[in-house]
Amino acid sequence: MKRMIKPVVAVALILLISLAMFTSCDPEVKLDKEALDFFWLEFKGAAINKVVRPGIAAVDMKENGNITVVFPANVEPSDVQEAAEELFTALKDIVDDGEGTLTLYAPEKKTFTLSDANVVEEVARHLLDNLDEASVDNFLTSGNVSSKYLAEFKYYGRELKLEGTLKFDVTDPK
């Protein structure tokens, strides 16, 4: 019995020191980081399930917040539109009440509300210079449209921000 007292006391002291260290750190920062990590995993899974279509679209999502949707050179405009709608649907399905904002910084800074019924078209108009035929053709032949972004939303009651670059890319098949 006496042999057990010293190890038990040592473990108890280690637990008390660990608890003191844990409670002395800023819990808000820790919770926001954990919530963002969980959000990012859920969003990546949903986006890949909704957007990826063999021969039509691939998605690359990095931990730094960069999101790239890649299309083959022979992509149809309707496939690009469908992939963009699915990417936004994945985001709206995950955030609390489907609400939040998306700020794009190119070609100029503009903020969009995720819950707007026509948010995908508004974002496309913004990125593709009002969706005129020439800008759509230019995108399909030039290869990419991108913008830095900031998404602000609630996820399980936590206010989160996600930043990175959103890029739609058209490449020649390999």
User: Residue 112: which residues within 8 A CB-CB, separation 6 or more?
Assistant: 101, 102, 103, 104, 119, 122, 123, 126
pLDDT greater than 80 at residue 28: no
pLDDT at 109: 95
Peptide bond preceding 54 in cis form (omega within 30 of 0): no
155: pLDDT confidence band, cut at 50, 70 and 90?
A: very high
Around Cβ 35, how many Cβ atoms within 10 Å? Answer: 17
Average pLDDT rounded to a whole number, residues 157-167: 91
pLDDT of 118 > 80? The answer is yes
Residue 12's pLDDT band, with cuts at 50, 70 and 90, is: very low
pTM across the whole model: 0.73
> In the block, which residue shows the tokens 């508004």?
122
Q: Is residue 135 very low, low, confident or very high in pLDDT (cuts 50, 70, 90)?
A: low
Q: How far apart are CA 74 and CA 55, in angstroms?
A: 10
What is the Cα–Cα distance from 172 to 83, expressed in whole angstroms?
A: 18
pLDDT tens digits along 60-115: 888 888 988 888 888 887 887 888 888 888 888 899 998 999 999 988 999 999 99
Q: Give residue 112's pLDDT.
A: 95
